[in-house]
Amino acid sequence: MADQSKTLTNRQGHPITNNQSQRTVGSRGPATLENYQFLEKITHFDRERIPERVVHARGFVCYGEFEATGKIGDEPASKYTRAKLFQQAGKKTPLAIRFSTVIGGRDSSEVARDPRGFAVKFYTEDGNWDLVGNNLPVFFIRDAIKFPDVIHSLKPDPVTFRQEPNRIFDFMSQTPESMHMLTHLFSPRGIPANYRHMEGFGVNTYKMVNANGDTVLVKYHFHPRCGVASLTADEAAKVQGQDLGSASKDLYEAIDRGDYPQWDMYVQIMEDHDHPELDWDPLDDTKIWPESDFPLRHVGVMTLNRNVEDFFNENEQIAMGTGVLVDGLDFSDDKMLVGRTFSYSDTQRYRVGTNYLQLPINQAKNAAVATNLSGGSMSYRRDLAPGQNPHVNFEPSIHNGLSEAQREEPNNPPEIQGRLTRSVIERRNDYVHARGRYCTMMDWERDDLVLNMGTLLGQCERDVQERMLWHFFLIHDDYGSRVAGMLGMTAADVAGLAPLPKQVLTDEDQKRLKALGRNGDTLDPKAWGQWTGSVKVHRATADEVVKGMPSGAQGGMTSQAAD
């Protein structure tokens, strides 16, 4: 029997149970992009011989702990996952969290309209678990191959170096799947009052795996106990005139005075199959799972209670990735997730260096690390196990080197069969979830959304305006007509537009297109049930943000916004 003190791990502290084969569809392949262990191993090897983040450059790190309830909703956590951090009531796992903005540079404003990063690194006994999400529950695109394009459209013009609405909406107008995210982002949710008063979402679909190897699909949510608060564009401009770092300041000072922010962590659970009964794909990150059909299940509480001691070492060098999962958690086939899993770790190696996981902020603090990786820029130790033969940096070996973990935990995901292809998912349904969001937001949020869209589209060229209005009318009569009114246009100005090349409209979309602007839409939120993220939102003022937001609850986290 092998000495378990010499178990082979990766640098996240995860035991390697199979060091002989990649993860493939069947024994002959093809290999899948989320081959995390292979990618970690080969990319380190590629860099053995001897910059600001592209996205999420401005951020702020602090520390805390996650305390589990031992349950998922009303059921034992073990029913759904064998991940150790969820198993026992009262079990505490230390963590680091990085809040951030996406598009702006390191010294940009923290009240700019932008998605906010919500990335948590759990230092578990089975190694690190990174949950890298945002403050909004969905994203602009559903396939990672489009990620450079969407970010380029949102970044400054390569000639004028200004963020231009015409560039942003040029891309979005040709990307119908973005309408749901845009309806979130250009409402007040696009400018959280601060980091303490915003939600967090895993965005992508993951899996949980129990001791028998049974899997379920899962979505992760964090709801702030102090309530959700957002700013209008006018109030944000007033804050920006006084302080570019208002959100970091607020969070640092709250923790410093002992006013520790807390979030309730929830999951949504779905059986692990294709769900043909739904008119949208559960792996599509431009969609939410309505809570009336897939209720939130409480799993624990996150408390933030310690600030960083050095901004550079702890904030600039913290590195997270969606491939960093512990036993009992797994990937789904979400096309954005598998692409992110390669991209995130690769960008950390480029930006921080091939040995970024040896830095204190990124180390697996509560798990042993023993790898056969060595060399590369800035290496300062070898990951040797106690008593390991230092001459043996390969596996297998009979001369006291590292060996595979003895027990490979079961994992019984669904069998996948299909032709190797480059194609979009079948159930796209790009407008219905944007319609649900529009109907379930608060009145003042909807008013601000219309104002922002109309103002920014007023700076765009006519062809971009027309296509965006065409999308808005397909979402909701009120959405389209109100924005069109600000532009001096009507549904008649865009009714003659044909669908985009390769665009697939549902039967409902086709009917709506024939009566564009005259579909008799209502704004009854009760028809939609509980809609993820559509909770009561405090309308924050610049004065509140500058002077410090209160910690008292601003509204029920699970109550419908428009009740």
Give the residue numbers marked as catalytic: 56, 134
Record the tokens describing residue 339, joined without a space: 């692409």
The CA-based dihedral angle spanning residues 358, 249, 111, 179, taken in that order and rounded to the nearest 10 degrees: 50
Query: Would you say 193 and 550 are in contact if contact means Cβ atoms under 8 Å apart?
Result: no
Query: What's the longest Cα–Cα distance across the chain?
Result: 79
CA 225 – CA 435 distance, rounded (Å)? 28
Residue 248 CA: distances (Å) to CA of 244, 389, 546: 9, 47, 12
Instruction: For residue 431, give the nearest of 287, 550, 327 by alpha carbon.
Output: 287
* AA identity, residue 208: M
Q: How many Cβ atoms sit within 10 Å of the Cβ of residue 270? A: 18
DSSP H helical ranges for 309-361: 311, 335-351
CA 406 – CA 396 distance, rounded (Å)? 13
Record the tokens describing residue 348, joined without a space: 């950390």
- The DSSP line for 148-213 is HHHHHHHSPPTTT-S--HHHHHHHHHT-GGGHHHHHHHTSGGGSBS-STT--EE--S-EEEE-TT-
Element counts in the chain: helices (H) and strands (E): 14, 14
CA 8 – CA 18 distance, rounded (Å)? 10
Q: How many Cβ atoms sit within 10 Å of the Cβ of residue 150? A: 18
